[in-house]
A = this chain, B = another copy of it.
Amino acid sequence: MRNTRSVGTVETRYLDLPAPLPLDSGRELRGVRVAYETYGTLAPARDNVILVCHALSGDAHAAGIAATAPAESTRDGFAAAGSPKGIGWWDGMIGPGKAFDTDRFFVVSTNLLGGCRGTTGPSSADPATGRPYGKDFPVLTVADMVRCERAFLDVLGIERLAAVAGGSLGGMQALQWAVDYPDQVNTIVVIASTHGLQPQGVAWNAIAREAIMRDPDWQGGDYYGTGRSPDAGMGVARMIGHVTYLSAPALAGKFGRRLQSGGDIRYTLSEPEFEVESYLQHQAGSFVRRFDANTYLHLSRALTYFDLSREHGSLQAAAEQIRARTLLIAFSSDWLYPPAASEEIEEALRKAGKPVEYHLIEAPYGHDCFLLEEARQTPIVREFLNGSRA
């Protein structure tokens, strides 16, 4: 049975970093603002903090019901079914008695650097000009995002983390935390993620970015205030992403080859004929309304760059840096972030003598399992987090 206890109504808050943020590229960002939410209560010893990191299309609103519900939910696609309006993207995992148990932990969720939902990103005003960064926004890495999260937690007075957790790009951030701040992270929870995206994933991301950048309304990235934005290209990018997040059997099970008309084909190029075509159009339309194209480009680029082997010479060398206990969860049908990568991380950690636990969950939905298979992740995560306090 689904645990229906909720953290209740939440409001996203904002915090301005006191100092410029240095970036891997050699540039720095001034006046960085971070959007965040917290759930649960910070222990007096400040030793019960879990940082939750979102994936490409998420935001700070991970749990509960948004006080001001946006028109388009981050909980879309297959995950939208039966979800109340304004619900957080990982509400099934965060709350009283849930995987990330707010009766015990103080869960912090931020919108990541480069985002478009409150944290400084390409659509934010550049303090140097007062105008949106647009094409001048610096190219980011996952390490930059983590550095921003570190600086943000400094302001909150939180030094150590009981856990860093996330799926997909969120899992990359958790790994980066463990490598970059080994003394400040007790455990990491890395779900449906990888130490370096496989070349096919690099290709999908490149194609999605091409779809956006080839849209003339992208205007080289400086589309803010022009009355035009690359919605057409963004829609294509989202459709590509959506299909890669799901498995072929999941699409077959949900839509089959059913026609929109119910009856026969209508001999049309421009109208959706199949239900699956109509579904993708709908997903693209709602995503375009809630997400900024330049943010998509930057996050997509950062997640393809992420590569612990390149950064440290080898995956083994990266694993040697880690001191956190590691939980890895992968899903059998996830062909975008296949289980093999989690198994490679597990092996490197074991070889380095580090504590690691790996679970392969047999589930049919593909990469989106990390958002959908909450019931099956819950006992694994709860058990693992026992004893994770500093």
Contact B139–A268 (Cβ < 8 Å): yes
In contact, B267 and A139 (Cβ under 8 angstroms):
yes
| Complex contact A335–B248 (CB within 8 A) | yes
Distance between A143 CB and nearest chain B CB, rounded to angstroms: 12
Contact B199 A256 (CB under 8 A): yes
Q: With A216-B216, A269-B298 in contact, do A210 and B239 touch (Cβ < 8 Å)? A: yes
Residues of B within 8 A of A138 (CB): 267
| Contacting pair B214 A233 (CB below 8 A) | yes
Question: What is the size category of the interface that chain A forms with chain B?
Answer: 35 or more
Option from B236, B243, B274 in Cβ contact (under 8 Å) with A236: B236
Q: How far is the CB of A253 from chain B (nearest CB, A)?
A: 9
Contact between A243 and B276, CB atoms less than 8 A apart: no
Q: In the bound complex, what is the Cα–Cα distance between A274 and B268 (angstroms)?
A: 38
Nearest-neighbor residue (CB-CB) of A304 within chain B? B274
A363 an interface residue at 8 Å Cβ cutoff? no
Q: Mark A173-200, 1 if CB is under 8 A from B, else 0.
A: 0000000000000000000000011111
Q: Which chain B positions have C-beta within 8 A of A276?
A: 199, 202-203, 206
A213 is an interface residue with CB less than 8 A from chain B: yes
Q: Which 3 A-B pairs have the closest CB atoms?
A: A214-B232, A139-B267, A200-B248
A residues near B (Cβ < 8 Å) are 24-25, 138-139, 196-200, 202-204, 206-207, 209-211, 213-216, 221, 232-233, 235-236, 239-240, 243, 248, 251-252, 255-257, 264-265, 267-270, 272-274, 276-277, 280-281, 297-298, 301, 304-305, 307, 310, 335, 338
A-B contact pairs, 26 of them (CB 8 A): A139-B268, A139-B269, A196-B257, A198-B248, A199-B256, A199-B276, A200-B248, A202-B277, A203-B243, A203-B251, A206-B280, A207-B239, A207-B240, A209-B269, A210-B235, A210-B239, A211-B211, A213-B270, A214-B232, A214-B235, A215-B232, A221-B269, A240-B240, A248-B338, A269-B298, A273-B304
